[in-house]
Amino acid sequence: MADEIDRPTPRRKPKPEVTRIGGRDLSPATLMMGFGFDPMLSEGALKPPIFLTSTFAFESAAAGKRHFEGLTGKRTGEMEGLVYSRFNGPNQEIVEDRLGIWDGAEDALVFSSGMSAIATLLLAYTGAGDVIVHSGPLYAATEGFIGKVMAKFGVTWLDFPAGADRGEIEQVLEQARVKAAEQGGKLALIYLESPANPTNALVDIEAVAAAREAVCGESQHVSPIAIDNTFLGPLWQRPLANGADIVVYSLTKYAGGHSDLVAGGLSGAKRWMDPVRALRNTMGTICDPNTAWMLLRSLETLEIRMRRATENAVRVCDMLKDHPKVEGVGFLGLLAEGPQLDIYRRHCTGPGSTFSLFVRGGEAESFRFLDSLRIAKLAVSLGGTETLASHPAAMTHLSIAPERRAALGITDNLVRISIGIEDPDDLIADFDQALAAV
Ligand SMILES: Cc1ncc(COP(=O)(O)O)c(C=O)c1O
């Protein structure tokens, strides 16, 4: 009788998943249409229904116990059944499976925003006395969270500039190791953002991994390298292949891709995801089912959207680079021979479609340009189907002290542009007339 009650929960996911056909690994673009979802488990619905429920009924008390054992790590292997929507739900699980495919990651987690992903990650990996080493610049809210919020918990930080070479990075990691030992903590996390928002500066992930190995030796396994891959991922950069452990996203940007949702993501090996999942379970920073469903819709077109936007950006930047009203263009497709191009060749497969435009002049000239745009919308954010333009020094990075902004290259004539999937000739005409008005 007991055996009958304690029978395994019926399957909830497609098994086995089809990921290879005729000796060929299916590409992420193909897998985005069906991976992780079996219509036959949902009345034949081709697309996953949105599971609007706060909790999940157990088949039996014993099944409930098994699910909680899975949830709390007392039982290893995949979670057998769902428990409560603060922990996970079907829509979120499918997005997590599909996000992991893009990054070549064993596991992934989705969050209610990029910042809630970042905050949960930082809180999961650090404690009093610990030191975070990060590259600079970072998205301003990330920098603020590390500098102001983590400081309240006794966590300190050191940084190195995005373009730093292996020697410089090693020096900073060594300082951090010494500082952490003095504070009774550890070098808890190496946090990168590459390309950096808003300068597009690239971090040499391979150099960071080599420096960590040199400085930390065996204990490198307690200091994961996390990297915010929002600007190029998941199509144009796969940082796990270059030595990163955790990939961070604002899924609000290219992954969501239509400027109609806010979400975040992390991916990496299960051992790196587990502590973050446990804290997400406690805090409830997971994204809601509706947002997860929209992300599934978006991931189906990710590759064509990112390719078209990048082709457009190449065309637009080609016009901008020689324009007399333009001082420079910070576009990864226009890097000159040097260390940044070397990193680009080793880490990236495409330049993306977000770049910085340095208008000749200062804030007044930049504002005139922004106010004259007719197709491009004046808004912060990036990675949507539409072209957006903003002024980081006066907007997203206003909270950063002017001296630090200057040191990071966030000047008053820097306009950040995210190119969408419109007709490129229309965009070129719009930028041309807006520059003429400067
Ligand atoms: C590079 C980067 N990381 C993280 C974030 C934060 O993401 P979210 O706005 O989804 O919280 C942003 C937002 O602009 C970003 O540009």
- Asked, for residue 116, whether it belongs to a domain, the answer is yes
Ligand 1 centroid vs 138 CA: distance in angstroms?
A: 10
Confidence of residue 8 (pLDDT cuts 50, 70, 90): low
Contact 438, 365 (CB under 8 A): yes
Atom of ligand 1 nearest to the CA of 231: 1
In a domain, 366, yes or no: yes
Distance in angstroms (rounded) separating the CA atoms of residues 133 and 172: 8
Same domain, 228 and 134: yes
pLDDT band at 15 (very low <50, low <70, confident <90, very high): confident
Mutate to test the pocket of ligand 1, among 138, 200, 230, 397 (most ligand atoms within 8 A of CB): 230
Statement: residue 431 has pLDDT above 70: yes
Q: Which atom of ligand 1 is nearest to the CA of 396?
A: 14
Same domain, 293 and 315: no
**CA 7–ligand 1 middle distance (angstroms):** 44
- Using the atom order of ligand 1, give the atom closest to the CA of residue 381: 14
Ligand 1 neighbour 197 (Cβ under 6 A): yes
Among the candidates 300, 325, 348, a domain finishes at: 300
Instruction: Considering the candidates 228, 245, 288, 412, report the single residue annotated as catalytic.
Output: 228
| 388 and 287 both lie in a single domain | no
pLDDT at 210 over 80: yes
Our answer to whether residue 6 is catalytic in this structure is no
Q: Is 114 in the pocket of ligand 1 (CB under 6 A)?
A: yes
Percent of the chain with pLDDT over 70: 97
Q: How many domains does the chain have?
A: 2
Q: Are residues 365 and 273 in the same domain?
A: no
Range of the domain at 318: 302-436
pLDDT of residue 1: 45
Residue nearest to atom 6 of ligand 1 (CA): 114
228 is catalytic: yes
Confidence of residue 7 (pLDDT cuts 50, 70, 90): low
Q: Does 195 have pLDDT greater than 60?
A: yes
The pLDDT value given to residue 11: 67
Flag whether pLDDT at 293 surpasses 80.
yes
